[in-house]
Amino acid sequence: MRSFHVRLFCFVVMTMLMLGALPFSSDAQLDPSFYKNTCANVHSIVREVIRNVSKSDPRMLGSLIYYYYYCCLWQGCDASILLNSTSTIVSEQGAGPNNNSIRGLDVVNNIKTAVENACPGVVSCADILALAAEISSVLAHGPDWKVPLGRRDSLTANFTLANQKLPAPNFNLSQLISTFANQSLNITDLVALSGAHTIGRAQCRFFSSRLYNFSNTGNPDPTLNTTYLQTLRSICPNGGAGNTLTNLDLTTPDTFDNKYFSNLQSLNGLLQSDQELFSTVGASTLSIVNSFSSNQTLFFEAFKASMIKMGNIGVLTGSQGEIRKQCNFVNGNSGLATFATRVESSEEQGVSSA
């Protein structure tokens, strides 16, 4: 009984610390009730589109969560990733970490159309991505949270910075910590946000080196469970198709839960950047993985706090930016596109087919 109370006390303290460190709406000028008087039904409109899509494509829930990651993690939550290339913009969609690794742009556009029909010129694409991430979590049986709103959309994209600042699936722990720290996200944020890999798929090309030639040794990654290694080699043969998909979570791939962390404890993390959280000697992340594995509520609370925190990075508010009429183009420039929106297929998609 005493140990139960100790664990409960630790849980409460950790949750309070995480929430207390949260840079909520006062600095970013965001508020969950931002559209109360201008588009009160925006949440239900977004939810209905996603719910209908997820019936035939459950993978889309993870994809929309990861769209939000790719949007926020390097420059800020300004929907710059949605912009297509034009005569004046080089799209971030073709940057190394994004190329063939994001899907769901058509769904985002469908959501935008539905929202515009109800509330023209009011809701930003950046806020649509934030709402879509929360709704996707809930539809996958994960946590819900009140999404701070009021973001505006960027007027440009930055292909160069997208190449430089987004985390890669082969990052080691120090690289991951540094990447997140550059956006004022701490180690708890890193582990909690990585937990979104509890749903989704990844292409073989993102982890095949772990199976056959880890760090140019000619051998597999020694931190990979040998049984899991053989399973993955059967899915991703050496020299085989790099775009073959496999589950990020081998136990419950379409359910948002804490099984991702128990997978890491069993050395069954699919990506190197996943397993690094548990297998790095002396890692400060190890105890957090253990805590989240044993307490799903703790993980959910941390994930909610970190998603809100990430959603406040570099936002545009007030008179900054604009409210795009179409998410793929700056207002007035849709006729300048140099290529059409990419055709998406399950064969093309990468890590964030999550």
Return the SS3 of 303.
helix
pTM for this model (two decimals) = 0.85
Contact status, residue 262 vs residue 274, Cβ threshold 8 Å: no
80 in a labelled binding site: yes
Contact status, residue 171 vs residue 351, Cβ threshold 8 Å: no
122 pLDDT higher than 90: yes
249 in a labelled binding site: yes
* pLDDT, average across residues 73-83: 85
Q: How many CB atoms lie within 10 A of CB 2?
A: 6
Spatial distance between the Cα atoms of 297 and 35, rounded to a whole number of angstroms: 30
27 in a labelled binding site: no
190-297 CATH fold: Peroxidase; domain 2 (1.10.420)
Q: Which helix (H) or strand (E) holds 130?
A: helix 125-139
127 in a labelled binding site: no
In the chain, what are the domain boundaries? Answer: 26-166+310-347, 190-297
78 in a labelled binding site: yes
257 in a labelled binding site: yes
Spatial distance between the Cα atoms of 352 and 248, rounded to a whole number of angstroms: 10
26-166+310-347 CATH fold: Peroxidase; domain 1 (1.10.520)
Q: What is the pLDDT of residues 242-289, one digit of tens each?
A: 889 999 999 999 999 999 999 999 999 999 999 999 999 889 999 999
5 in a labelled binding site: no
Spatial distance between the Cα atoms of 90 and 312, rounded to a whole number of angstroms: 25
252 in a labelled binding site: yes
Q: What is the pLDDT of residues 197-243, one digit of tens each?
A: 999 999 999 999 999 999 999 999 999 999 999 999 999 999 998 88
Higher pLDDT, 205 or 137: 137
